[in-house]
Structure formats: C-alpha cells, structure tokens
Structure 1
Amino acid sequence: MESSMELTVHHHGTPHSFPLSNSATLQDLAAAIEGILNIPVANQKLLIAPKPGMQKAPFPPTALTDILPLDSPRFKITLLGSPAKAIADLHEQATSERKRQETRASALATARKNQPTASRSRGINTLSNGSNNYTFHRLLPLNYLPNPDRSLQFLTRLRDDAGIRAAMAKHKFSVPLLTEMNPAEHTTSESRTLGLNRNKGEVIELRLRTDAYDGYRDYRTIRKTLCHELAHCVFGPHDRDFWDLTAQIEREVEAGDWKSGGNRLTGQEFYNPGDWERVQSGEDEYVDECGWTGGEFVLGGLRDGNRDSGGTESRREILARAAEERLKKEGKKETQDDGR
C-alpha cells in the first residue's frame, strides 16, 4: 500500500486535517479542500509558512513533499477563501437589492415626471437633480456581532457625511449596499484588511470594529478607507490613475464636510499612498487587494498567476515576502541568543 501523510490546514482559526498520499500534489490538496470545506479551488489561496509563501489557483502539479517545509518547526498552512454558498448568497442579496433600487428609481422618475411644474420649483435643493440616487441605498450591520445598533449608527453617519455625499454626487457613485466587515474573517497572522469593494461598487465593506469587538475604530480613518473603496468603483488596480482619483475624492470629502468647516489643518495632501502600505505599530494593515470581484480578490499587477508588463508585485506576494523576512530575523535573533 502507498504510504500516506496527514496535513493540517487552518481556515478562520480552525484547523482541518486532510489525509493524503505521499505522492499527492498541490492540486490534490486543493481538491480535497473543496470536497470537505466546499470552497471552490478557484477561490482558494494557501499561505505556506515559512516557505514558499502564498500559493493561488491554478495550483501547479507539484508534489507536496517537494514544496512543503514539513520538517520546519514553524510549518503552517493557512487557507484564505470563502465557501461557494456564502459567495452565492451575497451575489443573490446584491442582485435583489439592485433590482429593488431600480424599481424604486423608476417609480420616482415617473412620479417626478407627473409632478406639476409649479411644485417642482418650491423649496431649496442643495443637491443636483437625481443626486439623491448617488448614495448608499442600504446599510447592513452584522446582527450576529455585539451591538449591531451602534454599527448601524456608524454606517448611517458615513452615508450622511456631508463630504461623502458631495463626492458621491459629483462622481455619480450609486452603491446598493454598505456593510461592516467582521474583523475575524479578514484578519490573519500576517495582515488585516480595512475595506473591500465588490464588482466596482456593488457592495462596499468596511472594518468598523476593533479586533477584540470591544470598540470602534477612528471615524476619520474609516472615512479615509471609504474614499479608497469609492475610487475602486472606477479603477481596480492600485495604479497611478487610482491613487490620483483617491486623492481627489479625499480632497472633495474634506472640502464638502461643511459640518467641520471644510478647512484643512495643514497644506499637505490628505493621503500618502505609502502610508497605506506601511506597517503600523508592528501590525500589517492594508486597505484591500485592488477590489473584490465575483468572490475573488483581483490582485493588482497579476494576470493568470504571472506579473504583468508593469512588473508590479501583488499584495499577497509582498505580505508573503515580509513574513519570510520576519521569520529570518527571528531565526537570527534566536541564534544570537543561543550563542551568548
């Protein structure tokens, strides 16, 4: 009989065991994960520590014994990916919401068309015609987390923020759903995601809560993240066009925030692209991975698993390389301590 081995894969903090033969490949492991956890192979990403780092579909037919550091005391496989049902449910919810909003917009347009001319001119409207459509049409807190009412208040504040409303009206951004992000589902030992944009504005998720669920993050930081995600309604990759639009939206939000006076404290830019990528307080925080399309993270600078002509690295590659460097430094420190 062929010899076998058992691998442990961690998903959302839970270990799962997979018995495999010694001749099994990465493709075999991905197929086993799909069969047991119902996560499609195309949605899977495997972070293998300490090396070779991040692996993503399509997986190569490489033998596991050749690629996995099985003898390393730091060996660990972390699975990133959402089950097919969760993705389908979110798609269905977004589609249903979009249809409802389209029906509502059609009814409003018909009513406006039939409204007498005299009544249309009454009152003062600070927004241009149709600008009420340029907003977040539905707010969704996560009811299974503590204090969902507070999250709803936070989302409402973002939606009604004078600066956000002005910027969305100017760029004609109409987002069906604004919801909060569960920190546990978007935090790994290597990083934490601050926001996501699905399908160029179909759904926007924001990390409102602290990791311990005992409070909420700074409002202006979250609003800055929201500006970043709104820019993904136009541009996917983190290229120059994207960062220029992000800076423009942030300036417009600041200028349109009449409740705070609309004045900056300094003449400096409101954002710095390097700040998003920099490790803060010893933790890797990054906004997103160039948008979230169809349940997959669309990694900027990658096409079909290879670098594009621009030669940029994906965010996952950067994180994997950073993790490797951190492990190397820890190993050197342990060696130095042992030699004392």
Structure 2
Amino acid sequence: MSSDNKEISITVSHGGTTHPLSLLPDTTLAYLQARLEELTSVPTNNQKLLYKGKNSVPEDATIVDAGLKDGTKVQLIGPTAEELGGLMAAESEHQRRERILRERAQKAPVKVRATGRASPSSDARYAFHRIEPLPHLPNPESARDLLTRLANDAAIRHVMRKHQFSVGLLTELAPHEQPHLLGLNVNAGQAIKLRLRTDRYDGFRTFKEVRRVLCHELTHNVWGDHDNNFKELNSLLNKEVAEFERAQAAGTHHLSDALGLESPHSALEAEAQEYVLGGGAYTLGGSGTSTPTDSPEERRRKVLEATMRRLQKEEEELEQRCGTAGH
C-alpha cells in the first residue's frame, strides 16, 4: 500500500461509547456518516461531528478534505432514531394531556381563596410539567440542574401562577441543530426549548440570561407574533420578575398588582433604574461618558439612558433569535 493510500485511524465517541475506525484517505464524508449511523443509530441528517481542524465541505468531499487526520478524536453529537421517536411520542402525549386540562378548566373554573391567591391545586397546574435535557449532548445532568433551577425559580413560578401559564415540557435547544435560535415555544406552551449551552459546548449560559429568554417564550403562550400586544406582556413579565425579587430581598411580598398592561418600555426603565440606584458603574463609552463636572443627577441620567439602550438592544436580539413568531 502506497503512502498516499495509507489508512487513517480516527476515534469517534458518542454517548459514552468509543468507536475506532480505519478509513482510506479517499473515503467520502457521506460514507463515514453512513458508517456512523450503523454504529450509533444516529441518522446522518442529525449527526454533528466535532473535532479540531474541521473544514466546512460538501458530503461528497473526502475525509481528508474535511480535515480528518490520522489519530483525530471526533465527538459525535446527535439523537438516535429511537430517541427522536420517543421525543415525538412524548410531545404528542403531552399535547393530549394539555388538551384535557384545557377542557377541564373550561368546564370547572378555578376556585380562588378570599386572600386572592390561587388554590394549591391550581398552583400545581400552572407550572412546567416535565423537564428533559437532551441526553445526546455532553453533561446532561448539568443541563437538567439549570432547567430545574429555572422551573423552580420563585419569580418565574409567581408570574406563571399570576398569568395562569402551563407548559408541558421544558427542554433545551442544541446549538448545532438551530444555531441562530435562543428560544422556541411549541404550540403555545406544549413545549418551551431554551438555548442553555455556549456555541462551543464548553459551558452554559448565565442563569439570568436564560431566564430572560424564558420570560420571552412564556409570553408566546398568549401572543404568537412580536407585535405591540406581545411587547406589552413581555415587558410586564420582566417587570413582575424584577419586582418579585426586590420584594424578596426587602423581606416582604407586597407586590404591585397592575390592573392594566404596562408600556413596552416600563420593564426596561425599572431594570435600568435598579441598575443606577444599585450602584452601577458611571463610566460609559461614547457620548454618554460622565465627566467630573457632571452632577449626580446628570450622571444617573446618562447611565439610565445607556442602560436603556443596552436593554432594548437585548430585547431586539431576543426577537431576532426567537423561533416562535410566525409559526
């Protein structure tokens, strides 16, 4: 065998199992993926191969063109056919159960105590009924912990009870499957999927960052498009989360109970004010930079304006990276 045809040995890991493979340099990437489907039951269109030196090439390219070398270690990420079928069946079952719950709610309105708080039975209904990380991604237990923390967050539970939100499944989005999305609400609460991981799979996004996306997707339980109705309710949810946490920090649960929806900017203003009053940095770039001659009120005004711009930019990014609107 000539040196040009010397076999290339690679190691592919998936789901805790290692698969050593020896391939000729002219082996196509499509052939490799078909072989991996035989070994792991992960369909080729769901396969994501992670390795150093990876090149973006068509399926008919060779493994050498794709950047695979002798001794390369490859991480295969993707759900098996069985896992895909199970997820679809589970979502179908949850859709049926959610329909039954909605029908029951229409026939028997929820009883409310004299205190104005919902009964324990209704509290249990307005929650996330199932939590599932994606088992084919690395470190699923850490993903489960983050999902559980989100589902049990006192502020999130408060707004879910107040607005009577019910979600069948809380799970995650795989960065490689829909890389442009941060969140997705399926069928107005049948399932909410959140981007938990960094793009490189080397860690998880911050809790508050993911929780802000969760508030955005909970708003899609009511409104499908990012219109003014959506913006008002989303703003209200973020405001109520901030209010709840401030009340907890102050040792009281006295919360304002808005009779109508706030303006789209009210939650942003509340968060910006909290940033300023809480001692946020006063040195800002651009035209908002404070000077030694500024009065305390002028410095706070500049910080408030800069923070408002930052928060509004975050909201715009959430809308652009949300997969729900238009579905």
Instruction: Output the TM-score relative to the length of structure 2.
Output: 0.51
SS across alignment from 2:60: coil
Match of 1:212 in 2: none
Match of 1:157 in 2: 152
Match of 1:298 in 2: none
Query: What are the residue-to-residue correspondences of 1:64-213 with 2, within 5 Å?
Result: 64-70=63-69, 75-112=72-109, 123-125=114-116, 135-140=126-131, 154=149, 157-158=152-153, 161-162=154-155, 165-166=158-159, 174-178=166-170, 197=184, 199=186, 201=189, 202-204=191-193
Equivalences, count? 236
Give the superposition deviation at 1:38.
Answer: 0.7
Tell me if the contact between 2:183 and 2:195 (Cα under 8 Å) persists in the aligned partners: yes
Q: Distance in 2 between matches of 1:223 and 1:256?
A: 14
* One-letter code aligned to 2:129: R
Cα 1:78–1:141, aligned 2, differ >3 Å: closer, same or farther? closer
User: Of 20, 23, 26, which residue of structure 2 is paired with 1:20?
Assistant: 23
Tell me if the contact between 1:162 and 1:256 (Cα under 8 Å) persists in the aligned partners: yes
| 1:166-205 residue CA offsets vs partner (Å, 9 max, x unmatched) | 27865x75421236x7xxx9899xxxxxx86574751446
Tell me if the contact between 1:166 and 1:252 (Cα under 8 Å) persists in the aligned partners: yes
Match of 2:275 in 1: 266
SS across alignment from 2:65: helix
| 1:120-164 residue CA offsets vs partner (Å, 9 max, x unmatched) | 78735368xxx979943414478xx98xxx999846632xx2455
Q: Distance in 1 between matches of 2:16 and 2:175?
A: 10
Query: What are the residue-to-residue correspondences of 1:206-285 with 2, within 5 Å?
Result: 221-232=206-217, 248=235, 249-257=237-245, 258-260=247-249, 265-267=274-276, 269=307
Tell me if the contact between 2:130 and 2:169 (Cα under 8 Å) persists in the aligned partners: yes
Q: Distance in 2 between matches of 1:245 and 1:24?
A: 56
Give the superposition deviation at 1:49.
Answer: 1.4
Q: Distance in 2 between matches of 1:64 and 1:141?
A: 35
SS across alignment from 1:78: strand
SS across alignment from 2:167: coil
Match of 1:328 in 2: none
* One-letter code aligned to 2:12: V
SS across alignment from 1:66: coil
User: Of 21, 35, 45, which residue of structure 2 is paired with 1:42?
Assistant: 45
The RMSD of aligned alpha carbons is 5.2
Tell me if the contact between 2:48 and 2:76 (Cα under 8 Å) persists in the aligned partners: yes
User: Of 2, 9, 13, which residue of structure 1 is paired with 2:12?
Assistant: 9
Match of 1:299 in 2: none
Cα 1:69–1:246, aligned 2, differ >3 Å: closer, same or farther? farther
Give the superposition deviation at 1:43.
Answer: 0.9
Cα 1:132–1:92, aligned 2, differ >3 Å: closer, same or farther? same
Instruction: Output the TM-score relative to the length of structure 1.
Output: 0.50
Tell me if the contact between 1:26 and 1:64 (Cα under 8 Å) persists in the aligned partners: yes
* One-letter code aligned to 2:248: K
The answer on 1:31 being equivalent to 2:28 is no
Q: 5+ unaligned residues in a row in structure 2: which ranges?
A: 134-139, 177-181, 198-203, 221-225, 256-269, 277-303
Structure having the larger proportion of residues in strand = 1
Q: Distance in 1 between matches of 2:232 and 2:45?
A: 31
Q: Distance in 1 between matches of 2:232 and 2:79?
A: 30
SS across alignment from 1:254: helix
* One-letter code aligned to 1:231: H
Tell me if the contact between 2:12 and 2:73 (Cα under 8 Å) persists in the aligned partners: yes
Q: Distance in 1 between matches of 2:59 and 2:147?
A: 44
